[in-house]
Amino acid sequence: MAEIVTIGELLVDVMAETIGQSFAEPGRYLGPYPSGAPAIFADQAALLGIPTALIATIGEDDFGTMGLRRLRRDGVETRAIRRVPDATTGIAFVTYAPDGSRRFIFHMKDAAPGRLLESDLDPTLFAGCRYFHIMGSSLFSAAMIRTIRRGMEIAARAGAGLSFDPNIREPLLGQPGVAEAIREIAGRADILMPSEADLAFLCPGATTEAAIETLLGGGTKRIFLKLGAAGSLYADRARRIATPAFRVVEVDPTGAGDCTGATFLAGLLRDLPLAELLRRANAAGALAVAARGPMEGNSDAARLDAFMARADSSPVPADGTPDPPEPSPGA
Amino acid sequence: MAEIVTIGELLVDVMAETIGQSFAEPGRYLGPYPSGAPAIFADQAALLGIPTALIATIGEDDFGTMGLRRLRRDGVETRAIRRVPDATTGIAFVTYAPDGSRRFIFHMKDAAPGRLLESDLDPTLFAGCRYFHIMGSSLFSAAMIRTIRRGMEIAARAGAGLSFDPNIREPLLGQPGVAEAIREIAGRADILMPSEADLAFLCPGATTEAAIETLLGGGTKRIFLKLGAAGSLYADRARRIATPAFRVVEVDPTGAGDCTGATFLAGLLRDLPLAELLRRANAAGALAVAARGPMEGNSDAARLDAFMARADSSPVPADGTPDPPEPSPGA
């Protein structure tokens, strides 16, 4: 039984080693790292002990094997991950600009992630599901949008709430119907986890507060606005809670938003007090940005607790890594 | 007017930095490098002054831009290279095993290279064409096989000969019709440029000499058997010529066979004496393996001449790079 069911791309990331590297010239890349926003989300939720299933398609290749192994190791229910013969596991190449922005080249819609079918939506997977979580990055083609909409119907019939992270990727917005689908699903979500850029896309020209009021007025129950280094802003009809970020040395922001969102939802499912679960979500995000690789910085509860305890007692930025071991006496 | 027309994949290679690296674990990769067997071949032939056109499809992304720029810089006729909206430029990931073998993960048939259409075969491109060169690696799908067969018809009508490098890639042989197409095109080629593995595929169980006799008996006029570090064996009905390889420090074998074959065909088209053109082809291959990247070691005539002159005068392996400059007096 999965309390969270999520759906979409399980892929590998291949990441530029140096800031300012261009796709148009040879350089050094690190990877492949298991990735894909729904996969990162599922991995983090499972690490926190929430039964979580991912519905996805991968190729019959080593890239797919790596992702599948990682999710299994971390406790994700993977029986709805199908290996597609004759398609290659999806890839995202990532470069980092000096201003902190990222550029992507995706092999996704024509690769294994684009082969997801309505028949992959095993209804028994949704029994007992409390939230169906959708990533906007998975709405990359008309076929994916259709499949995910069908998943929303099955989830609703199973009594699950809808959780949505718009997670907008510029190169994907050009696909027909993608922008419309993101807007429509955002309007139907019980929980919305946007970034500031996502919020600006959903409510163009509005201030943050005006956008939040519009979205809460439209039916959304909870908004978890991810602000990166500025922390987060939680909003529901009764309150706003701003939670500062933990200070860390940023190594790689990829995946941090997905990881933060999963920790937020896991906290709701375990009925943690709001202030505490918001702080935990930010701690998870801090640990994620301190590690290279999209899900290399995902954390279990013990790691989150240790990090938060260390952050409380330390006036200097934590770097997210454990203290180095003492050298052994004979070394 | 293009004396050589070739067709197929213009892609980028992303290459493992370390021998023994696995696709199933994160590591360091170098790239993207412009690649694709027909593209490497076209680039090398153009560098040697042979008017050469490539028919290919790339995405509207930086990977495609890089390949296109490189070919233009080196003089390849690129007007039949079409940018496909909504598809990503092809990618080949390469790892190297300690035994010298390579493993590949391709994003090709479902990416831009797989979008080549019969309408991309502009017949005016073939006016004055002397050889239509096909790479077996381009026969990766039923649609590609159909398009390339159509190219063969247009080339034959234009009076061009057929040049074929079987260039077999294990992961592609599983596609329906690929093995059959390679065998059939090999049977129709005027010039055949196999590796030893290709020869074993075409004539299973036969000795090299028996395979050569079979192929020459079937209509092939010239065979240029590429033997890697053992050099090459040329065969026609009148003779066999074994040409030793130049000794170099091998950095990266990728692309060396394509580069060697292009230099062989360029020599034929310029009526160089056989012994000389075979030696030049091996020199081009040596320079190719001494450079990292599939077409980073391609050479113009001056570079080949300089390398051969240096090899003649040096008892130690040449490394393919110019001598380091003298340190400046004040350094």
Which residues on neighbouring strands pair with residue A231, listed in sequence order?
none
Task: Tell if the CB–CB gap between A65 and B24 is shorter than 8 Å.
Answer: yes
Q: What is the pLDDT of residues B315-324, one digit of tens each?
A: 555 554 444 3
Closest CA to B11 of B42, B43, B27, B33: B33
**Residue B16 tokens, joined:** 């493992």
Is-contact A295 A34, C-beta < 8 A?
A: yes
pLDDT higher than 70, residue B124: yes
Just give the CATH number of A37-55+65-78+123-308. Answer: 3.40.1190.20
Query: Quick one: pLDDT at residue B173?
Result: 85
pLDDT higher than 90, residue B58: yes
Radius of gyration of chain B (CA): 19
Query: Quick one: pLDDT at residue B321?
Result: 47
pLDDT higher than 80, residue B171: no
- CA of A62 vs chain B CAs: smallest distance (Å): 5
CATH class assigned to B4-8+36-83+109-313? alpha beta
Q: Spell out the alpha helix ranges (H) of chain A.
A: 37-47, 62-73, 142-157, 170-173, 178-188, 196-202, 208-217, 256-269, 274-289, 301-313
The shortest CB-CB distance from B26 to any of A33, A89, A105 is to A33
Percent of chain A with pLDDT over 90: 88
Q: How confident is the model at residue B101 (pLDDT cuts 50, 70, 90)?
A: confident
**Residue B32 tokens, joined:** 């993207």
Contacts by residues A204-209 (CB-CB < 8 Å, ≥ 24 positions apart): A208/A233
Contacts B25 to A, Cβ<8 Å: 66
Chain A residues with a Cβ under 8 Å from any Cβ in chain B: 14, 17, 22-33, 61-63, 65-66, 69, 87-89, 91, 105-107, 110-111, 175, 293
Burial class from Cβ neighbours inside 10 Å (0-12, 13-18, 19+) for residue B323 reads exposed
Cα(B263)–Cα(B277) distance, integer angstroms: 8
The mean per-residue pLDDT over the stretch B52-74 comes to: 97
Average pLDDT, chain B: 93
Angle, helices B62-73/B37-47, rounded to nearest 10 degrees: 30
Which residue of A lies nearest to B23 if distances are taken between CA atoms? A62
Query: Quick one: pLDDT at residue A315?
Result: 54
ipTM of the complex: 0.84
pLDDT higher than 50, residue A113: yes
- CA of B206 vs chain A CAs: smallest distance (Å): 32
Is-contact A231 A243, C-beta < 8 A?
A: yes
Query: Quick one: pLDDT at residue A322?
Result: 44
